[in-house]
Chains A and B, each alone.
Chain A
Amino acid sequence: MKTNVREAGGVQIVELKGKITIGSGDVQLRETINKLVDSGKKHILVDMKDVTTIDSSGIGELVGCYTSVTNKGGKLKLLHLPPKINDVLTVTQLITVFDVYEAETEALSSFKG
């Protein structure tokens, strides 16, 4: 998996590309988010548009990231959720946990509330 972090309107946008699966991408996701949290960043938007595959380990890491950001008083939201990843989050009822956006501008605005 490849990651790219950019900032827009005080929000860290984490662009993920590739697979978030066991032994490949799951730990990388955690490290990327932890690095942001450790440096005091509290508004994180994870862009999932180019994520091709996710498994239960990837979902677990996503949940872990959500918890660690929330516990530090921050917010982690999701952007551009591919349909199959949406399905995977839906069946485990995690879709209700995450704030999910289809447009970046709308997602960025939501952090201002």
Chain B
Amino acid sequence: MNAPQPSAKAGPIRMSLSSRFENIEMVQHLCSRLLEGRDVPEETRHWILMAVREAVANAIKHGNGQDLSKHVHLEMDVVADTLVISIRDEGGGFDPSRVEDPLAPENRLKTSGRGIFYMKTFMDDVRFRRHASGGMEIVLKKNLGAIKEKEENPA
């Protein structure tokens, strides 16, 4: 498959992926390319890519139940110094308010339930909504300008 090649002026990247975990790497690669040429520290880049990984993995595993006939729909762009990533599955959806807190003592040793927490930890804004055409959409945002300002004017 020929992956789209992003550039600073290319506009949003839009694509639909089959529900295979192997596709997570490709999404991370594309996101990394989107950040190329921008003043994003390696550390921040790493955590952004981890958040993206978690979002796509959730869509494939929990959203689409690894059903290969279902797709994950993705849009990534940098708008006014903010990285915006939208990931939508074709599943039945879930209630984000009912996701358990992985830091609660009773959940600490659970083998799952940390993906959304990691996304919220590493991104500035994480929102869920049921998409009009079905499925659950998650929108991740990271203000890249704020990182630069913080580096230039540390507290």
Contact = CB atoms under 8 A, between A and B. Distances in A.
Most A CB within 10 A of own CB, among B110, B111, B121: B111
Contacts of A92: 102-103, 114, 117-118
B72 to A, nearest CB: 13
A96 to B, nearest CB: 9
Q: Please classify how large the interface on chain A is, using the bins under 10, 10 to 19, 20 to 34, 35 or more.
A: 20 to 34
A56 B24 contact: no
B108 interface: yes
A64 B111 CA distance: 6
Q: Please classify how large the interface on chain B is, using the bins under 10, 10 to 19, 20 to 34, 35 or more.
A: 20 to 34
Contact of A57 (B57, B108, B110, B121): B57
Interface string B46-66: 100010011001000100000
21 contacts: A21-B21, A22-B24, A22-B61, A24-B21, A55-B53, A56-B115, A56-B118, A57-B57, A57-B112, A59-B114, A60-B112, A63-B110, A63-B111, A64-B111, A67-B109, A67-B111, A88-B50, A88-B118, A91-B118, A92-B103, A93-B108
Given A56-B118, A92-B114, 10 more contacts: A21-B24, A22-B61, A24-B21, A55-B53, A60-B113, A60-B114, A64-B111, A66-B109, A91-B118, A92-B102
